[in-house]
Amino acid sequence: MTTHTTRMLILGSGPAGLTAAIYGARAGLKPILVQGIQPGGQLMTTTDVENYPGFADVIQGPWLMEQMQKQAEHVGTQLMYDTIVEVDVSQRPFRLIGDGGDVYEGDTLVIATGAQAKWLGLDSEEALKGKGVSACATCDGFFYRGKKVAVIGGGNTAVEEALYLTNHSPDVTIIHRRDHFRAEKILQDRLFAHKNVSVLWNKEVAEFVDGGGTAGLIALELRDTVTGERSRLDTDGGFVAIGHHPATELFRGHVELDEDHYIKVETGTTKTNVPGVFACGDVMDKHYRQAVTAAGSGCMAALDAERFLAAEDFKVAEAAE
Ligand code: NDP
């Protein structure tokens, strides 16, 4: 068992955590970043990335994360591979404990553990991910210009994704398992008013249909949730928008969460309710969920942490005078 200590401890290695690390290292805080079970985060399972600024040509998600990781290391971040099983933020230094018994102590803690899209759990969905099935319209909608697409879900995300897809597609169908949405009324009004959108109520996806060869998704097989009747909807893209799980289990009861289990931060900052603990990226953001916004909030977390430490150092120096 080893104890690792740092001024700035970061948990999570997606764009938020790695950007916090780059800024923290360049501020001389010698960050330690614990990578967790999915190093690189959600971009590791993404192929083409066209919306991360700075790259004129399409880049690959895993390549982008590899570059961010190298950049964080080059400027002085220590990357650790461990699975954190316990946290103690009741006193400082904050402590994270790995499954092998290693202890990580930080004067500040940046939580960047991300979120995972929820999936329906069908084998055909898994087989067609990246071949017509997606959980992010903002990321992949552009690939369906002029094509038919379908969105599954009835919350704010589903309605927003359907509206976003109308920028690209003349034919968007939203499929919901009940006969009314839970999305906010203003979003629903906008959706119902849009000429490119139609709604299929009381339907769930029974299968994603593979066209074989390089065709990918060609249709959805639907089941009526009231009558059980089967039907088929031809489509080029299926966007699953049934919610996300923020990775906050470790922090339940330790850091304040909102009603959807996202970490609560003070508006306009990355400050949690525990002084010295900051949160950035998808673990605190249910609205934007983009690599670039995660990176932006990672930068904010590092600046917030650095200022927190500087204010504290100043108080100590003042008291010593
Ligand atoms: P929600 O949990 O609000 O909605 C999920 C939707 O998916 C529900 O309509 C649900 O159906 C449906 N669903 C869940 N599981 C399945 C399943 N297995 N099969 C079929 N349908 C399923 O998630 P959101 O991501 O939409 O929103 C999460 C939170 O983020 C909410 O608080 C939301 O308000 C917020 N948000 C706010 C935004 C904004 O303010 N602009 C933008 C995006 C999110 P059912 O209704 O039957 O339960």
Q: For domain 120-241, which architecture applies?
A: 3-Layer(bba) Sandwich (3.50)
What is the structure's pLDDT at 128? 96
Interval between CA 182 and ligand 1 midpoint (Å): 7
Prediction pTM value: 0.82
CATH code linked to domain 3-116+244-320: 3.50.50.60
* CA pair distance 158, 15, nearest whole angstrom: 24
Q: What are the residue ranges spanned by the domains of the chain?
A: 3-116+244-320, 120-241
* Fold agreement between 3-116+244-320 and 120-241: yes
**Contact criterion met (CB below 8 Å) for 147 and 237:** yes
What does the block give as tokens for 1?
């068992």
Task: State the residue for tokens 């230094």.
Answer: 93
Nearest CA to ligand 1 atom 18: 120
Q: For residue range 171-216, what is the model confidence (pLDDT) as tens digits?
A: 999 999 999 999 999 999 999 999 999 999 999 999 999 999 899 9
Ligand 1 contacts CB of residue 136 (under 6 A): no
Nearest CA to ligand 1 atom 34: 156
Q: For residue range 103-161, what is the model confidence (pLDDT) as tens digits?
A: 999 999 999 999 999 999 999 999 999 999 999 898 889 999 999 999 999 999 999 99
Which residue among 82, 139, 236, 285 is the active-site one? 139
Ligand 1 contacts CB of residue 223 (under 6 A): no
What does the block give as tokens for 304?
């917030």
Residue 139: active-site member: yes
Interval between CA 78 and ligand 1 midpoint (Å): 37
